[in-house]
Amino acid sequence: MRFPPVGVDQVLGLLKIIHNLGGRADAMYVNDAVDADMGDLSHVVDAAEALGLVKAQGGDLELTAEGRLAVERPVREFQKRLRDKLGSLEPFASLLKFITEAGRVEFEEALKFIQSLGYDADSAKKIIDWAVFAQLVEIDDGDWVVPA
């Protein structure tokens, strides 16, 4: 499965909304609060499922134990867990290998690499945002992407 190009904030927002609704909610109630239309919500849910944070069953969305921890614990703990998870998912594993082998790459070169994997420019930026958030990579001097 290809990782959906959604924002970190969209997934975290989804988790918080479901948490505030008792840990389980009808997807129709969640849609307006996530700042996404129904098409985009499905991508946000797909990303959350790929990360093991949410289970979708018959129109309901339910937080997993990992999803609850993501909302209830400090962000740093979530970032550590996410780092382990994303490091083995595509396109993050390929991006990390590409950057690690090079030592550092220009930001634009990292974007082009992700685009070569089938993502558009906006989606490639979201993938890098996830990698930075999960502390797989860092942006150095504003122009370089380096392993974290």
Same-domain pairing of 65 and 81: no
Residue 138's domain comprises: 75-147
Q: Across residues 14-42, what is the average pLDDT? A: 79
Q: Is residue 135 part of a domain?
A: yes
Angle at which helices 65-72 and 75-86 pack, to 10 degrees? 140
Chain segment 2-23, per-residue pLDDT in tens: 899 999 988 998 999 999 999 9
CA distance 121 to 115: 7
pTM of the predicted model, to two decimals? Answer: 0.89
> What are the tokens at 145?
């992407």
CA distance 141 to 106: 10
CATH number at residue 27: 1.10.10.10
Same-domain pairing of 79 and 134: yes
Residue 53 has pLDDT above 70, yes or no: yes
Using an 8 Å Cβ cutoff, are 48 and 54 in contact? yes
Q: Is residue 2 part of a domain?
A: no
Residue 103 has pLDDT above 60, yes or no: yes
Number of domains the chain contains: 2
Final residue before a domain boundary, out of 71, 97, 124:
71
Same-domain pairing of 59 and 122: no
